[in-house]
Amino acid sequence: MRIDAFNHFFPKAYFDKLLASGLPDIGKRATQLPALHDVDHRRKIIGGFKDYKQVISLAAPTLEQVSRGDPKLAVEFAKVGNDGMAELCAKYPDEFAGFVAQTPLTAPDAGVAETTRAINELGACGTQIFTNVEGKPLDSPEFRPFFAAMEKLDKPIWVHPSRGANFPDYLSEKKSLYEIWWTFGWAYETAAMMSRLVFSKMLDDMPKLKVIVHHFGSIVPTLEGRVGPGWDQLGARTSDEDYGALLKSLKKRPLDYFKHDFYPDTATFTSEGAMKLGFGFFDLDKVIFASDCPFDPEKGTMYIRETLRILEEYGMPKADLDKVYYKNLERITGKTFVK
């Protein structure tokens, strides 16, 4: 059995509420991608692959975007989404092995109550957040209660990149062009988020925290030299902050946090090179299988098929492949997916 751990879907009630929100481009995106909201269409896609199930989570836009900054509305959207996900998993267990809750981080309690409800009462495998919250980094003090709660719950946090065209690529411009904000911006967002958790000492303070990083850690494996020998010299390029003292205060070398303290997934958009780099960088016991369905040119089938093909042709022993396919996910979520 292969449990695909990072995929996106809109339950009907949530999708209807999303369309009613009036956010631009939502209708266009969804109508062109039926696998994102049509449950029968999605089930047909899943059924086309042998020994295969999905863990589902909500897709962008973020709760902050759909609620337009209203904390109460963000919680309301989260509840509708979480309830809808739980209903789908209960109704279609042969296709949906589980779901990831969505945390409303802008709530006064940083979303702790709703996240706890979704995990303890609805059976969520963990919860999803994005790499920033209305432009704020995840190591901001107001979000710390959420991370503390997740360490106590002993459940993983799925982190999805978030960045829009309103993040310009150059200071002289007002927006990002050519969807650079997505192609390279999302990869940067993931790497920056990981860095903030490391250097804010979040991982030192909460050593049992489980953070799943999308897209096999994005650009981090590619930049191992900069993360390693480069950051071993942290502070050499900075005169207005004592980063040298910060470096000495960390419990281990920066590179070691990136290599050993995060849980990457295998969603690489069909890139065999990225898959090889990822497996060469991260601990095998931390890697989980994910395809990022349904955002591919075939509108749902390509990323699943190609990710499975690459993994099957990678040449790893079956025992290791089983770890990637479901055993690692079972261990970090505390759930049994394969009986």
Reference 283, options 227, 228, 226, 221; nearest CA is: 221
pLDDT at 22: 81
Range of the domain at 247: 2-333
The 3 state secondary structure assigned to 130-144 is ECEECCEECCCHHHH
pLDDT confidence band for 77 (50 / 70 / 90): very high
3-state SS class at 264: strand
Total domain count, the chain:
1
Q: Identify whether the C-beta of residue 307 lies closer than 8 Å to the C-beta of residue 2.
A: no
Distance of alpha carbon 339 from alpha carbon 126, whole angstroms:
20
3-state SS class at 179: coil
Is the pLDDT at 313 greater than 70? The verdict is yes
pLDDT at 27: 62
Is the pLDDT at 294 greater than 90? The verdict is yes
89: its two tokens = 């998993």
| DSSP code of residue 228 | I
Please, which residues bridge with residue 55 across strands? 98
State the first-to-last Cα distance of the chain, in angstroms, to the nearest integer. Answer: 10
What values do phi and psi take at 280, rounded to 5?
-75, -20
3-state SS class at 33: coil
3-state SS class at 159: strand
When pLDDT is averaged across residues 206-217 and rounded to a whole number, the result is: 98
Residue count of the chain, please give it. Answer: 339
CB within 8 A of 175, min separation 6: which ones?
165, 166, 168
Q: Which residue has the tokens 């261990």?
A: 331
Structure-model confidence comparison of residues 28 and 294, the more confident one:
294
When pLDDT is averaged across residues 214-240 and rounded to a whole number, the result is: 97
Q: Which residue has the tokens 């086309």?
A: 48
pLDDT at 23: 80
Cis amide leading into 317 (omega within 30): no
3-state SS class at 288: strand
Residue 339 lies in a domain: no
Residue 251 exposure: Cα atoms within 13 Å on the Cβ side? 11
When pLDDT is averaged across residues 60-80 and rounded to a whole number, the result is: 95
Residue 281 lies in a domain: yes
For the stretch 91-145, pLDDT in tens is 999 999 999 999 999 999 999 999 999 999 999 999 999 999 999 999 999 999 9
Distance of alpha carbon 35 from alpha carbon 295, whole angstroms:
9
Is the pLDDT at 24 greater than 90? The verdict is no
pLDDT at 234: 97
Assign residue 250 the CATH number of its domain.
3.20.20.140
pLDDT at 31: 72
Question: How many angstroms separate the Cα of 51 from the Cα of each of 2, 252, 308?
Answer: 6, 40, 11
3-state SS class at 100: coil
Is the pLDDT at 295 greater than 90? The verdict is yes
Q: Which residue has the tokens 């692959």?
A: 49
pLDDT confidence band for 339 (50 / 70 / 90): confident
* Mean confidence (pLDDT) of the chain: 96
**Choice among 60-64, 175-179, 259-263 with the minimum mean pLDDT:** 60-64
Q: Identify whether the C-beta of residue 134 lies closer than 8 Å to the C-beta of residue 162.
A: no
Q: Identify whether the C-beta of residue 123 lies closer than 8 Å to the C-beta of residue 83.
A: no
Distance of alpha carbon 18 from alpha carbon 62, whole angstroms:
11
What values do phi and psi take at 133, rounded to 5?
-125, 100
